[in-house]
């Protein structure tokens, strides 16, 4: 395994991070225990969860993923071996069953305290804001549009002070963002500098062969502000395994179970995926391995968040850390990208 450090901390994490959002829906508690056992044995010490999980979100299952992790940590006595990341849910109809008070002081404290109970721990290593409170173009919306009904008021300072208190109190070790845009990151950075607050560590955004939007301006911000990318959906909900194109997806595959998730299913996304699939065949490796290795090698990526519903998938995902893509293959990847750029933003 390759290890990196969460920026602006001394927290050592594996370059592969274990994603968990299927646990409690597509995966049982027994499945989750087997995945955590296997991942830890392979050197994966970084697990990412959220109070929202599992996905799709529902009142009945909310928090189940983190409870599974907490039970595993308690049973295996492995808290000191694992770096835990979690997130407070952003506002919206999707999360009304959790709370409707956004990132208020009360909300942040409530979210952290409840998550600590679920995880059966007294600290969370990395705590993230799952998506912005303000209305902006996230989750597959390509362009920003001015939205007159947005009632959001700038509260970056208030949020940061509350997160800093949680660090000082020992409940979290560091903090980061998720699904954030350039303007949001720089507003946080501005408040941090102005008030001498603890620096942001990470941003968790989608990044894959068919979604390289991060490279547009966020990559430079990541480099200059020292904020590492935690790349999620590196296989684009399994699309970049090639199984949907080749007709090999089981009836329990994510997009067969939840067809409303269309972010990675556009005509252009499928066209790009076919091109990447042909390239992977030409070089004699699976598309899964090539897609993950591509993400693993990006200089701005601190950790690559993989997700699997079976141990065989998990093995292949972790094995990708052993592949280094050549300059020639990277050039061919960039050529496909230039022809079909970011079909799944």
* Chain segment 90-134, per-residue pLDDT in tens: 998 889 999 999 999 999 999 999 999 999 999 999 999 999 999
Q: Which run of H or E residues covers position 150? A: none
pTM of the model: 0.95
Length reported for the chain? 345
Q: Please say if the pLDDT value at position 249 is more than 70.
A: no
**Closest listed residue to residue 175, CA positions, set 58, 343, 11, 55:** 11
* Chain segment 313-326, per-residue pLDDT in tens: 999 999 999 999 99
SS3 sequence of 233-271:
CCCCCCHHHCCCCCCCCCCCCHHHHCCCCCCCCCHHHHH
User: Residue 105: exposed, middle, or buried by beta-carbon count in 10 A (0-12, 13-18, 19+)?
Assistant: middle
List all residues 6 or more positions away from 124 whose beta carbon is below 8 Å from its beta carbon: 84, 85, 86, 112, 115, 116, 171, 172, 173
Which numeric CATH code is attached to 3-238+298-324? 3.20.20.100
Q: Which are the catalytic amino acids?
A: 53
Overall average pLDDT of the 204-219 stretch: 97
């Amino acid at each position: 395994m390759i290890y990196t450090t969460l920026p602006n901390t001394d927290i050592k994490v594996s370059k592969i991070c274990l994603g968990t959002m299927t646990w409690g829906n597509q995966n049982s508690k027994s499945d989750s225990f087997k995945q955590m056992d296997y991942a830890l044995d392979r050197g994966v010490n970084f697990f990412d969860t959220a109070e929202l999980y599992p996905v799709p979100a529902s009142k009945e299952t909310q928090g189940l993923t983190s409870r599974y992790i907490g039970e595993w940590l308690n049973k295996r006595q492995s808290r000191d071996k694992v770096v835990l990341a979690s997130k407070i849910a952003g506002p919206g109809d999707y999360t009304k069953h959790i709370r409707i008070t956004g990132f208020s002081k009360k909300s942040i404290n409530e979210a952290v305290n409840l998550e600590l109970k679920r995880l059966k721990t007294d600290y969370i290593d990395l705590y993230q804001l799952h998506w912005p409170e303000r209305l902006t173009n996230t989750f597959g919306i390509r362009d920003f549009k001015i939205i007159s009904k947005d009632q959001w008021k700038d509260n970056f300072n208030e949020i940061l002070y509350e997160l800093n208190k949680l660090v000082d109190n020992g409940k979290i070790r560091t903090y980061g963002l998720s699904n954030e845009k350039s303007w949001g990151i720089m507003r946080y950075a501005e408040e941090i500098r102005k008030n001498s607050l603890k620096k942001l560590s990470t941003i968790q955004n989608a990044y894959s062969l068919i979604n390289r939007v991060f490279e547009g301006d966020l990559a430079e911000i990541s480099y200059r502000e020292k904020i590492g990318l935690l790349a999620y959906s590196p296989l684009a909900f399994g699309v970049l395994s090639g199984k949907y194109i080749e007709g090999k997806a089981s009836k329990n595959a994510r997009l067969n179970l939840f067809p409303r998730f269309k972010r990675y299913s556009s005509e252009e996304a499928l066209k790009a995926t076919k091109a990447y699939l042909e390239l992977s065949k030409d070089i004699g490796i699976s598309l899964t391995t090539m897609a993950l290795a591509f993400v693993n090698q990006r200089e701005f990526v601190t950790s690559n968040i993989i997700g699997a519903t079976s141990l065989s998938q998990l093995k292949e995902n972790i094995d990708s850390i052993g592949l280094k893509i050549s300059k020639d293959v990277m050039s061919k990847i960039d050529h496909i990208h230039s022809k079909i750029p970011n079909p799944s933003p």
